[in-house]
Amino acid sequence: MSRAFNFSAGPANLPTPVLEQVKAELLDWHGSGMSVMEMSHRGKEFKSIAEQAESDLRDLLNIPSTYKVLFLQGGASCQFAMVPINLLRGNNEADYFNTGQWSKKAIAEARKYGEVNLPVNSESNNFTNVSESKHWTLNPNAAYVHYTPNETINGLEFLTIPDVGDKILVADMSSTILSRPLDVSKYGLIYAGAQKNIGPAGLTIVIIREDLADGAMPNMPSMLSYKTHIDSGSMSNTPPTLAWYIAGLVFKWLKEFGGLAKMGERNQRKAKKLYAAIDQSEFYNNPVDPAYRSWMNIPFTLSNSDLDKSFQAEAKVAGLLTLGGHRTVGGLRASIYNAMPEEGVQALIDFMNDFAKRKG
């Protein structure tokens, strides 16, 4: 059975070599007589897996030694609460950029713990653009500035790191991390759900500057404190061991591919080709300002929305899966994360051209 091209926004497709290695090691990891799923997270076997995964991630992102890396549960949605709980640090104010559905969720959670200012609010233009930085009104009293570099649903992305001066910058990088080189030192904290570019669902990566790790609000559950997880090496409770192991294999795959610079070049090529196919056709449309178009998640509409279901059904027959838009916005969407090869994007473009000729 041949594998289809899966354009799901998450859980997303994984690199085929990684899945093949998981299959080969599933019953017996490296002669241990155990599956990774059966290992004690405190045993020497899994400790070696965990340490290697962190080492490879640090190499890929060139993470400074002054930052801690955590492998947690709870998804990015749990981080929506953990960020203000830990980073308000006696303050009551934070800045949040509102650029899409995931930003809105983070903002709603942060408002439970303090006042939220919105220096950027793209809701009025339906999350298709971002105001120029000269129009941003950052709160001088804000404890930190939070933004979502890539909005999975709306397909809007910051292609450069926002300049927020000496403020602590926090980013939800769930759908863009590892897609290209990144200067981690520009951030106080980065978090990312794994199910797009890192590995299977169930794992969340947190990269936090060490000096920010001991400021949790009093009387909060200990499991919501970053210091708790730092002190225990991400093992305050049983971690998502299988997801951690597979993430480690993805990190190795990225290193063998040539690193994030080479991956970034491929991702840019994929996005440019697909946007060109959309822009050159009167049958398809992408509403996002080209200066903020996502490399990872490309929403598009048909000139006749009544054909959406037909498009998806025929695409599935052609081996192109999960192209429906998010339920909150409709339309169509192609997510082209690291594991999507260039031939998958070309197969989608060929199908789109053929569909437009027949239905347009």
**What is the model's pLDDT at position 360?**
83
pLDDT tops 90 at residue 263:
yes
33 Ramachandran zone, left/alpha/beta (phi>0; psi -120 to 50): left
Model pLDDT, residue 2: 80
311 token code pair: 């498009």
Give the separation between CA 309 and CA 303, rounded to whole angstroms: 13
Structure confidence by residue, pLDDT tens digits, 68-123: 999 999 999 999 999 999 999 999 999 999 999 999 999 999 999 999 999 999 99
pLDDT, one tens digit per residue, over 142-182 is 999 999 999 999 999 999 999 999 999 999 999 999 999 99
Question: pLDDT of 33-54, one tens digit each?
Answer: 999 999 999 999 999 999 999 9
Q: In what order do the strands lie in the sheet with 332-335?
A: 284-285, 297-302, 332-335
Domains of the chain: 16-257 (3.40.640.10), 258-359 (3.90.1150.10)
Residue 1 has pLDDT above 80, yes or no: no
Contact status, residue 284 vs residue 356, Cβ threshold 8 Å: yes
Are 349 and 274 spatial neighbours (Cβ–Cβ below 8 Å)?
yes
Res. 328: pLDDT tops 90: no
Residue 330 confidence class, pLDDT cut points 50, 70, 90: confident
Band the pLDDT of 326: cuts 50, 70, 90.
confident
Identify which of 207, 210, 179, 181 has the alpha carbon closest to the alpha carbon of residue 192: 207
How big is the CA angle at 155 (ends 339 and 248), to the nearest 5 degrees?
30
Catalytic entry in 167, 196, 252, 270: 196
- 295 a catalytic residue: no
Note the pLDDT tens digit of each residue in 183-232: 999 999 999 999 999 999 999 999 999 999 998 899 999 999 999 999 99
Position 6, amino acid: N
Considering 29, 102, 253, 295, which one is annotated as catalytic?
Answer: 102
Model pLDDT for residues 2-31, shown as the tens digit of each residue? 899 999 999 999 999 999 999 999 999 999
Residue 102 annotated to the active site: yes
Catalytic residue, candidates 68, 172, 244, 252: 172
172 as an active site residue: the answer is yes
Residue 350 pLDDT greater than 60, yes or no: yes
